[in-house]
């Protein structure tokens, strides 16, 4: 037993020294979370605003100009261009000069007066005349996010047009936002980013671990010694556990100070679920490492795992909205389970016991990964 620990420690120290001398990798440990966090934290914003749009004002009346101003005031769109024909407007959308165009018809003043949103009381539903919309949006629907934002303008009240207080509708449902009441995307993205960055760095570092020894010719010496596969595997992943924790500290620290993402859960819980996920990712990297025969191959395989982890884990799109097939793939990925756990712990202060399924899954994944990697790593040169 003492010998086993000594050999694990030997590999561990060796990895640590090599890591320290490898300035590039060491820099990446710090830079990847920093840069990604700044990028994602500021750039990803699900509240779309100031979409550049144009207007074709056929009526050319005072009321149409007020209409344009009222819409501008919502800040959803920003009128940047004016066109004089519908054809010109369509060409502008094709060129991506604007993402949508508002077409104001000739009889806009008439339409407004009879329109319910103007607040002159509800017209009878059968009234053909008054149920006509007052103007039309032509939207570049290829970006669903932008199209959705403009669609949200469909039922915009227009009472302000006549300087009258708007009708107060009684909503059908009352919605109470338990967490993230201001609906800031950073609150959801920062904890998710922990999962993505760990997937990226942890798998990448270990995926190259055995391959590097193979490529540099160290493997022949190593397998001629009494070191066992499992000792080699453990010694190689332990240093990266510390690195993973350091990265989590950087991400959540900046998330807290710069983006004001609260950490509601206990630090013990946080460390626990993170360690589980780090271990799962590291063993996945080791498995890749025993399959690949060059560093290029191991990088390719890392990306093969990374892409679904970003797209399917619930980081980008809600898990619930995905088709069943995609959900099944997502269930296999450690990132999906971690995404639930860390959001639960950081944002909702959930005890990880309550999410036992995800916890067990990560544990199982780690054990399976370590076993497969140790079995696959044959101590000969076949």
Residues that bind other proteins (CB under 8 A): 3, 6-7, 9-10, 13-14, 17-18, 21-22, 216-227, 379-382
Q: How far is the CB of 301 from other proteins (least distance, A)?
A: 24
List the alpha helices (DSSP H) in 217-333: 218-223, 229-257, 267-291, 295-312, 324-332
β-bridge mates for residue 102, sequence order: 55, 137
Q: How far is the CB of 379 from other proteins (least distance, A)?
A: 8
Please say whether the beta carbons of 188 and 44 come within 8 A. Answer: no
Give CA–CA dist 45/51, Å, rounded: 13
Please say whether the beta carbons of 138 and 103 come within 8 A. Answer: yes
Q: How far is the CB of 294 from other proteins (least distance, A)?
A: 17
Q: How far is the CB of 353 from other proteins (least distance, A)?
A: 40
Phi, psi of 252 (to 5 degrees): -70, -35
Cβ atoms < 10 Å from Cβ of 289: 29
Select 10 or 350, whichever has its Cβ closest to other proteins: 10
Give, in order, the Cα–Cα distances in Å from 159 to each of 67, 78, 150, 253: 11, 21, 19, 46
Nearest CA to 190 out of 247, 275, 241 is that of 247
Select 7 or 340, whichever has its Cβ closest to other proteins: 7
Phi, psi of 241 (to 5 degrees): -60, -45
Select 14 or 184, whichever has its Cβ closest to other proteins: 14
Q: How far is the CB of 222 from other proteins (least distance, A)?
A: 8
Select 87 or 220, whichever has its Cβ closest to other proteins: 220
Give CA–CA dist 112/69, Å, rounded: 15
Please say whether the beta carbons of 77 and 51 come within 8 A. Answer: yes
Select 178 or 221, whichever has its Cβ closest to other proteins: 221
Q: How far is the CB of 207 from other proteins (least distance, A)?
A: 19
Please say whether the beta carbons of 376 and 287 come within 8 A. Answer: yes
Q: How far is the CB of 19 from other proteins (least distance, A)?
A: 10
Select 219 or 238, whichever has its Cβ closest to other proteins: 219
Select 211 or 248, whichever has its Cβ closest to other proteins: 211
Q: How far is the CB of 285 from other proteins (least distance, A)?
A: 20
Select 18 or 106, whichever has its Cβ closest to other proteins: 18
Give CA–CA dist 231/4, Å, rounded: 7
């Amino acid at each position: 037993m003492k010998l086993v620990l000594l050999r694990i420690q030997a590999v561990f120290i060796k990895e640590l020294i090599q890591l320290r001398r490898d300035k590039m990798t060491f820099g990446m440990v710090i830079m990847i979370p920093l840069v990604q966090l700044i990028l994602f934290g500021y750039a990803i914003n699900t509240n779309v605003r100031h979409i550049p749009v144009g207007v074709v004002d056929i009526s050319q009346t005072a009321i149409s100009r007020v209409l344009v101003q009222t819409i501008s005031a919502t800040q959803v769109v920003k009128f940047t261009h004016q066109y004089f024909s519908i054809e010109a407007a369509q060409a502008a959308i094709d060129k991506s000069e604007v993402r949508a165009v508002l077409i104001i018809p000739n009889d806009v003043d008439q339409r407004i007066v009879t329109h319910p949103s103007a607040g002159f009381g509800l017209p009878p539903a059968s009234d053909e005349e008054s149920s006509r919309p007052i103007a039309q949006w032509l939207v570049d629907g290829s970006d669903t996010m932008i199209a959705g934002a403009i669609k949200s303008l469909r039922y915009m009240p227009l009472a302000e047009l006549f300087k009258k207080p708007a009708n107060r509708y009684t909503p059908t449902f009352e919605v109470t936002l338990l967490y993230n009441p201001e609906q800031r995307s950073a609150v959801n993205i920062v904890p998710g980013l922990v999962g993505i960055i760990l997937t990226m760095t942890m798998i990448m570092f270990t995926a190259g671990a055995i391959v590097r020894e193979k490529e540099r010719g160290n493997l022949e010496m190593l397998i001629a010694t009494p070191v066992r596969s499992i000792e080699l595997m453990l010694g190689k992943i332990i240093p990266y556990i510390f690195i993973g924790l350091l990265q989590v500290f950087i991400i959540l620290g900046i998330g807290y100070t710069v983006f004001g993402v609260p950490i509601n859960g206990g630090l013990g819980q946080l460390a626990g679920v993170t360690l589980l996920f780090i271990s799962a990712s590291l063993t996945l990297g080791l498995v890749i490492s025993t399959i690949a025969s060059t560093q290029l191959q191991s990088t390719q395989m890392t990306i093969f795992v990374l892409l679904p982890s970003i797209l399917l884990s619930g980081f980008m799109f809600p898990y619930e909205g995905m088709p069943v097939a995609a959900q099944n793939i997502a269930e296999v990925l450690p990132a999906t389970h971690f995404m639930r756990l860390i959001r639960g712990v950081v944002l909702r202060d959930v005890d990880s016991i309550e999410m036992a399924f995800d916890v067990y899954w990560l544990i199982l994944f780690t054990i399976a990964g370590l076993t497969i990697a140790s079995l696959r790593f044959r101590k000969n040169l076949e």
